[in-house]
Chains A and B, each alone.
Chain A
C-alpha cells in the first residue's frame, strides 16, 4: 500500500514538473513576442485573411497571385494572410466554411454561381455598393459585372471573362480530310464529324471526368443555338420544363453526337488536361473547352502544330445566333459581412488595386479577356489575339447551365450527361425527367 502511494505521489510530482516546464516554455514565448512587437513599429498592420485558389505557379491564376503580391508590397500597413485551396476542392471548402459561419475576411468567388448567390443571400457577405464609386461605368460597364450582383447588391468585381465554348481544331487534320474552312452550320458540322469518324479519326476530345465540361461547352451552346438566350430563366421560373421539346431536342443532339462516335471513348474518365494532350498529340481533330484552355495549348503545343479556333456552329432555323456566345465572369473577391471598419477600409484598398487598369492589363497580358474597357498591352500572346479575333463579332455573352442552375440540378446534369455520352447509358427522356424532379425539390 505504502509503495503504491509513493508511486502516485511520484507520478503526481512528475506531472507537476512537466506542467511547470511546459508553461514556462509558453511564457517565455509570449514575452518574446511582446518585446518584438514593441521594438518594431508603433502601428500594427491590418491583417486580412484571404481564402483563394490563386497560387504563384498555377498557369490560370498565377497573374492574380502576382497582382496580390504587388498590392502587398505597395501597402506594407496591410498584411494578406493567404490560404490557398486547390481549384477542384474549392467549391466544397467554400460551401462548408460558409455553412459553418467561418468565412475569412476576403473570399475568392470563382464565379457567380448559384452557391455564391446562396452565400450572399444568407447575409454572410458584405455588399460593396458604397465602394463602387471607384469604378466608372465607362471603365467597368455594369452589364459585365452583373453575375456578381445578387438582388440588386454588388458583392464583388470579376477579374476576367471566359467563354466556356471554344472549338480548338487541328488545321492539318481537317485539311487532310478535305476541310479548308470550319463548318458554319450545325448540319455541316455533324456531316464533318461523321466523315472524320469514317476516316478513323476521333473527331472531338473532351475531358469530362469532373462533369461540368459537357454542361458548359456542349449542352449550353446547343441550348442557346436552338432556343435563344432565355431558356434557362424560363425553366427556372416554371414557364418551361426540362421535359418540354426545346430542352429535350438539345439532349437528343448530345446523345446523337455521342452515338455518332464524335467523342473520345474515355471522355468521362479523363480530365481536361489529359484531353488537351490527346488533341495536341494529334489523336483528335478537335478539342472543345473554355477560352482558358488556350493557355495550356499555347504552352504545350509543338511549334509546327497548326491551331484553329471556331465558334459553335449555327442551327438552321434555331433561335440562337453566332453573335451570342456562352461565357461567364470569374475571379471576383467578396468581403465577409463581419469586417470591422479598419478591415473594411483595407479591403476597399485591396479591391481598388486588384481591379485597377494596371491589374487588368496584367491579366490580359497573361491571356485572359477582362470585363473592363482597357487597352490591350502590346506584348499580349499572339495565339490569344487570334482567338479574340475569332470572337470579335460577339455581342451577347450568356452564362452556361452550370452557373445558372442550382447546385443540386447541376449535380444531376453531370451524371445525366455522363450517362447520355456513355454507350448503353441513359436516354434523353430519363435525364430530362430527373432534372425536372430535382429542380422541383
Chain B
C-alpha cells in the first residue's frame, strides 16, 4: 500500500511539468478567450462589457455559418477521402507487389513532409488561370471551355482546396495504416487463407476488423485536423474570393486581427471549440456503435 501511494506521488510529480505547460499554453488561453468573448474590444482601447451580444451577433452572421459549412466540407472530404485512400495505398504497399520497394512509400509520404507553404504555392501554380498545369492540360486536350479560374470561382474554390488537403494528408494515414497492417499476425492470415478467404474478402473480413482501432483513431485525428485547417487556405485564397473559402479559423483570424474585433474573434473561437467538441463526440458515438 505504501509503495503504491508513494508511486502515485512519483507519477503525479512526473506529470506535473506537462500539466503545468498544458495549463499555461492551452487551458488558460482557452479560458481567457471565453472571457474576452464577453467584451467589445478593439485591442487598444478599454474593454466594454458586451454580455452575450457577441454570441447573438454570431448566430445571425451568415459568413460564420458559411465558414462552418466549409469546415464540414473539409471534414467530409478528409474522412471520406484521406482514410479510404490511405487504407487502399497501405494495403497495396503491404501486398507482395510493392512490399520490397521502399520508393513508393517515400513517394506517397512526401506531401506530408513538405511545408504547407510550399504545398500551397505549388498548387496555386497548378490552378493558375493563365499558365497553370490544370488549364494548360485541359486546353491541350481541346477542353478549353472547361478551363477556368479554379480558385476564383466561388462555387468551386472550396472543393478545389479539398483536393489539395486530401493530396497532402493521405500519405500520413497510409503510413499509420501500413504500420498497423504489418502488425497483423501472419498466423491469422494463413488460417484465413486455409479457410478460403482470399483477396478482397480477406481484406474486408479479416484485416480491416483487426486494424479497426487504428482506423477509428485516424478518423478522430482526421476530423480535428480538418477543423483546424488554416495555413493552406490562408496562403492559397486568404478566405476569398468574397468569403467563399472562409473556414472557421481564417474567419476568426481576419475578424480578430484584420478587423481588430478581439471580442468577436474570441466568440468565434469559442464557438469553434464547442462545434469541434460536438463533432468529435458524434464521431465517437458512431464508431462505438459500429464496433458493437
Interface residues of A, Cβ cutoff 8 Å to B: 91-92, 95-96, 98-99, 115, 118-119, 121-122, 124, 209-211, 264-270, 278, 283, 407-408, 411-412, 414-416, 418-419, 422, 424-426
Contact = CB atoms under 8 A, between A and B. Distances in A.
B258 A92 contact: yes
Contacts of A91: 257-258
Given A95-B257, A425-B154, A268 B241 contact: yes
Interface string B256-292: 0111111000000000000000000000000000000
Interface in B155-195: 155
Contacts of A267: 152
Interface stretch (B37-45, B82-90, B222-230): B37-45
B151 A95 contact: no
Contact of B152 (A119, A211, A269): A269
Contact of B44 (A99, A264, A419): A99
Given A266-B128, A416-B242, 18 more contacts: A92-B257, A96-B43, A96-B257, A99-B262, A115-B260, A124-B44, A211-B240, A265-B148, A265-B149, A266-B129, A267-B152, A269-B129, A269-B152, A278-B130, A407-B259, A415-B240, A422-B242, A425-B241
B261 A408 contact: yes
Interface of B: 42-45, 127-130, 148-149, 151-155, 237-238, 240-243, 254-255, 257-262
A162 B241 CA distance: 27
* Main SS class of interface, A: helix
Contacts of A96: 43, 257
Contacts, number: 92
Nearest to B63: A415
A57 B241 CA distance: 31
Contact of A424 (B44, B130, B154, B257): B154
Contacts of B259: 407-408, 411-412
B260 A407 contact: yes
A124 B43 CA distance: 12
B257 to A, nearest CB: 4
Contacts of B151: 266, 269
11 contacts: A96-B43, A99-B43, A99-B262, A118-B42, A265-B129, A265-B148, A266-B129, A266-B151, A269-B241, A411-B255, A424-B155
A269 B257 CA distance: 21
Nearest to B240: A418
A412 B61 CA distance: 13
B45 A122 contact: yes
B258 A422 contact: no
Nearest to A265: B149
A99 B266 CA distance: 14
B94 to A, nearest CB: 40
Given A95-B43, A124-B44, A425-B154, A411 B258 contact: yes
